[in-house]
A and B are shown apart, each in its own frame.
Chain A
Amino acid sequence: MSSKMDTIWSKLDRKATAISEFTMRQYRTRVSTWAIMIAAFLALFLMLLFYAEAMNSEVEAIDNDNDGLFNEDDFDWDNLGAYNSSVGFDDDGDCTNRTTVSQRDTNDNNIECDIKIVWNAISEEWVIEGDIGVDEDPDEEKYVKEAGHRAFILGIGKFGIVYLLGIFLPLFLATGLVREEMSSGTMHYMLAKPIARGEILLYRIIGYLGIVWPYIIVICTLLCVFTGLMGPGDGFFRWADIGVWMSIAWATMMVTLVYGMIFCTFGILWKNGVVLSIIFAVWELGMAFVALFSGGDSPIQHFSVIGWGLTIVDSGVAMAWADNNTLITMGLWGGGHENMDWWSGFSENEPLPGAEPLSAFTGNPGLGISNWLSFILSTLILIVQAAVTWFIGQAIFKGKEVD
């Protein structure tokens, strides 16, 4: 038998594909599979309606410098690469037309009519000082649409897809993957074969991924196409967004692998394993919030699955949208107009609308290594998490009496 065909495929196309194919067909015949997938699809596309409305609404221009002109001096910033840089251009000439050098160089960096940006390593933020009259009246509509578009993708991507979709699909689809067969009695047919229980667990998970992964890819592709066409920009499609959507899809695929393995193991461990799965999902929800609101570099988030998943997205974003941090920084600076906070008594820059949500949903990979490396490292760690869970799961399954 073994000598007939000995390709890798003919080897795998026995037990492994038999169980995976069987599992995928089993999912397809169940109403619950379709119900959860359609429900998730509808929820995500409902959010897309809000996005479409925001993208098509007019944003009222604000006369930031009270000179009676609107949006006459927009941002002229390059990407903030260095720790100390000079950006900005005085479009309307209200800086360059000043008479003395000291009036044209109010930030004293010996460059006239520019904006001085210095990285403060202690407070870990950019300190921005502009010469008066430079980039002081930015285009709100342009900024809000760009920042809002990105904030939407990151919000729905990180929370809606990587966390919610990433946890609910396995919760409904993977918890009973082995347990349901055990309680219904159909597991007897599989166990009465020359196959290790660890193999059954592994091939069942592969079958589950065969349903869940294509679904994630389809969802992310559809959202990428819609937002890419509807989003702001000069071209007809926002090509740079593809990288972000790919990292969202990849993170969700990795996260559904680990959660699937964990929840399936909970199901093997206990017939009410879904209770353990829900408790675990709540922990992950907490970790998702920690990762989101710490800006992605909290060490605690690494004691979770979602923390690593979101690091994948953060690394992907840092690569695909290299100007993202610049966009946030300029929006938070907002033209350099200070407002007195009556509560604290301090003066603060008035941010442009859209800058704060984008800042909230953007995270730093936080691993102190290059973006590519953190992308790969996070992926590897998630795969290791899945492998370790498989090892524990098969050990529990092996010691389990199936009555």
Chain B
Amino acid sequence: MMPDLDQHGHAETKEWTPDVKAPVVMLDRVSKQYGRINALNGVSLGISGGVTGILGMNGAGKSTLFKLLMGKLRASSGAVRLFGTDPWRNSAPYSRVGFVPEHEKLHDWMTAFDFVVTFARLYGLTRDEAKVEATRVLDFVDLKDVMHKKIGQYSKGMRQRVKIAHALVNDPDLIILDEPLQGCDPLARTTIMNVIKELGRMGRTVLVSSHILHEIERITEQIVILHRGRVVALGNSHAIREMLDQHPHKILLECNKPKDVAKSIMDIDEVTGLHFVSDGKLLIETRHLGVVHQQLPDIIVQNGHQVTGIDNPDDDLQSILRYLTGGF
């Protein structure tokens, strides 16, 4: 409650020291209800170091989780801790945190430089220190050349990078990015992914949320999957992949004679089912996606089938979640 009279970037308690034994981010059976809706349901997590991907569909609770960590929401039950401190009661831990919110809204009337300098000073930096740091982080996200232009003139990818720069200006130990890749063009996407990977290599704790599995896989192997407010899977992405391989996968072939193709494909042992979905479409079911994909091209060429498209309708998060949760 008390103002930080020394203005050195530790609100509430001037002598705030992080608990070094506690994990950077810790949630203990955290639930959050909005009226009768359970946004989060008994989530327990402990994260320290490295890049962690938080995967989930829209409404899975990713943003709620981050808002709890950023002290914007109060947990209905359970404990939320940043560096061992409850962020709802004390904003002091944010001196070591950088947050990139999901929404696009920025102060369009400011230049990127002014924006980063202004918010750097809220960490307790002086005017001069803030200018030095702002130039450093804007260079880090490749915006140094255009940093004196108004944010309103920026493209979506550039705006996203301004937000990331502003979150890095205090050289934080924990960086939280809510859907940082959403709506970005491929170039900006690559730049941002590299920035995140670089932060992970620098030993920072990074939390990135996304609803696209392969995006997260390109950044990190450490994944948490949220579904309807619960943690449904947690760990290395390869382990999650292997777990998924226990479940039937689907491959969709577009061809002119589906029945002929089906006859040839039946020879592959790993195929467990064949369905004629609609005119010119054949759905293959298998438990070993890799094996089928390996053999499929040869069979098609040998038998002279005309195939116009191959698609894995399963390779999205929704299907994975369906497997993980048993369709519930």
Q: Do A and B bind each other?
A: yes
Q: Which residues of A does B touch, CB under 8 Å? A: 1-2, 4-5, 10-19, 21-22, 25-26, 29, 184-186, 188-199, 202, 394, 398, 401-403
Q: Apart from A16-B7, A186-B106, A192-B167, what are 6 other A-B pairs with CB-CB below 8 Å?
A: A11-B7, A14-B126, A15-B7, A192-B98, A195-B4, A401-B74
Distance in angstroms between the alpha carbons of A70 and B278 in the assembled complex: 112
Interface residues of B in 102-159 (CB under 8 A from A): 103, 105-107, 109-110, 118-119, 121-127, 129
**B99's closest neighbor in chain A, by CB?**
A192
For the complex, would chain B's binding face be called helix, strand, loop or mixed by DSSP majority? loop
The 10 closest A-B pairs by CB, nearest first: A18-B121, A193-B122, A192-B99, A194-B95, A14-B7, A185-B105, A29-B109, A188-B101, A196-B11, A194-B94
Chain B residues closer than 8 Å to A15, beta-carbon distance: 4, 7, 9, 121-122, 124
A12-B7 contact given A1-B124, A195-B91, CB 8 Å threshold: yes
Which among B2, B119, B122 has the highest number of chain A CB atoms within 10 Å?
B122
Chain A residues lying within 8 Å of B61, measured Cβ to Cβ, are none
Q: Which residues of B contact A202 (CB under 8 A)?
A: 3
Q: Please, which residue of chain A has its CB at the minimum distance from the CB of B106?
A: A186
Which residues B1-48 have CB closer than 8 A to chain A? 1-12
Name which of B7, B9, B72 has the most chain A CB atoms within 10 A of its CB. B7
Distance of A13 from chain B, by nearest CB (Å)? 6
Chain A contacts for B74, CB-based, 8 A:
401
* A26 CA / B115 CA spacing, docked (Å): 12
Q: Please, which residue of chain A has its CB at the minimum distance from the CB of B34?
A: A403
B70 touches A191 (CB 8 A): yes
- Choose among B9, B67, B72 the residue with the greatest number of A CB atoms under 10 Å from its CB: B72
Specify which of A5, A14, A22 lies most central, judged by the most chain B CB atoms within 10 Å of its CB.
A14
Q: A14-B121, A26-B109, A194-B9 are in contact. Are A188 and B72 (CB under 8 A)?
A: yes
Q: A2 near B6 (CB under 8 angstroms)? A: yes
Q: Out of A13, A19, A26, A401, which one reaches B127, CB within 8 Å?
A: A13
In chain B, positions 63-97 with a C-beta closer than 8 Å to chain A are: 67, 70-74, 91-95, 97
What's the nearest-Cβ distance from chain B to residue A177, in Å?
A: 15
Q: Decide if B249 is an interface residue (CB 8 Å cutoff).
A: no
Do B11 and A199 touch (CB < 8 A)? yes
Alpha-carbon separation in the docked complex, A229 to B131 (Å): 49
Asked if B12 contacts A196 (CB within 8 A), the reply is: yes
Residue B166, interface by CB 8 Å: yes
Residues of A within 8 A of B73 (CB): 401-403
Give min CB distance, B310 to chain A, whole Å.
42
For A10, A191, A195, the residue with the greatest tally of chain B CB atoms inside 10 Å of its CB is A195
Indicate which residue in B126, B166, B167 contacts A10 across the interface (CB closer than 8 Å).
Answer: B126
Query: Which residues in B have some Cβ–Cβ distance to A below 8 Å?
Result: 1-12, 67, 70-74, 91-95, 97-99, 101, 103, 105-107, 109-110, 118-119, 121-127, 129, 166-167
The docked-state distance in angstroms from the alpha carbon of A1 to that of B121 is: 13
Inter-chain contact A194/B119, CB cutoff 8 Å = no
- Are B4 and A199 in contact, CB atoms less than 8 angstroms apart? yes
Bound-state CA distance A196–B101 (Å) is: 19
Q: Are A189 and B67 in contact (CB under 8 A)?
A: no
Closest to A199 in B: B3
23 contacts between A and B (CB under 8 A): A1-B124, A10-B126, A11-B6, A11-B7, A14-B8, A14-B9, A18-B119, A22-B118, A188-B99, A192-B94, A192-B167, A193-B119, A193-B122, A194-B93, A194-B95, A194-B122, A194-B123, A194-B124, A196-B2, A196-B4, A196-B11, A202-B3, A398-B1
**From B72, B92, B106, B167, contact of A401 by CB (8 A):** B72
Are A26's CB and B2's CB within 8 A? no
* A403, chain B: closest CB distance, angstroms: 7
Q: State whether A195 touches B103 (Cβ < 8 A).
A: no
Contacts of B126 in A (CB 8 A): 4-5, 10, 13-14
A4 → chain B, closest Cβ, in Å?
Answer: 8
B119 and A189 form a contact (CB under 8 A): yes
Q: Is the CB of B101 within 8 A of A185?
A: yes
Contact B105–A194 (Cβ < 8 Å): no
Kindly identify which residue among B6, B91, B110, B124 contacts A196, using a CB–CB cutoff of 8 Å: B91
Whether B67 and A194, one on each chain, are in contact in the complex, defined by CB atoms closer than 8 angstroms, is: no
* Alpha-carbon distance between A17 and B129 when the two chains are bound, in angstroms: 15
- Residues of chain A within 8 A (CB-CB) of B93 are 194
In the complex, which residues of chain B have a beta carbon less than 8 angstroms from the beta carbon of A10? 126
Which chain A positions have C-beta within 8 A of B101? 185, 188-189, 192
| B109-A190 in contact (CB<8A) | no
- Report which of B6, B123, B127 forms a contact with A193, defined as CB distance below 8 A: B123
CA distance A24 to B193 in the complex (A): 36
In the bound complex, residues from chain B placing their C-beta under 8 Å from that of A19 are 122
Do A195 and B11 touch (CB < 8 A)? Answer: yes
> Known contacts A12-B7, A401-B74: does B1 contact A394 (CB below 8 Å)?
yes
| Contacting residues, chain B, for A5 (C-beta < 8 A) | 126
Cβ–Cβ < 8 Å partners of A191 in chain B? 70-72, 91
Chain B residue at minimal CB-CB distance from A2: B8
When the two chains form their complex, are residues B97 and A1 in contact, meaning their CB atoms are under 8 A apart? no
Q: How many Å lie between the Cα of A25 and that of B2 in the bound state? A: 26
In the bound complex, residues from chain B placing their C-beta under 8 Å from that of A192 are: 70, 94, 97-99, 101, 167
Shortest CB-to-CB span from B125 to chain A, Å, is 7
CB distance from A394 to the nearest CB of B (A): 7
Counting chain B CB atoms within 10 Å of each CB, which of A22, A26, A193, A198 scores highest? A193
Residues of A within 8 A of B98 (CB): 192
Q: A14 touching B2 by the CB < 8 A rule?
A: no
User: Complex: how many Å from CA A283 to CA B167?
Assistant: 45
> Which A residue sits closest to B32, measured CB to CB?
A401
B94 to chain A, nearest CB (A): 4
Pick from A12, A188, A194, A195 the residue with the most CB of B within 10 Å: A194
B121 nearest CB across to chain A (Å): 4
CB neighbours of B1 from chain A (8 A): 196, 198, 394, 398
Q: Which residues of B contact A189 (CB under 8 A)?
A: 101, 119, 166
B127 CB contacts on chain A under 8 angstroms: 13
* Highest count of chain B CB atoms <10 Å: which of A16, A17, A196, A202: A196
In the docked arrangement, what's the CA distance between A14 and B124, Å? 5
A18 contact set on B, CB distance < 8 A: 118-119, 121-122
- Complex formed: what's the CA distance from A11 to B126 in Å? 8
Complex: how many Å from CA A11 to CA B127? 11
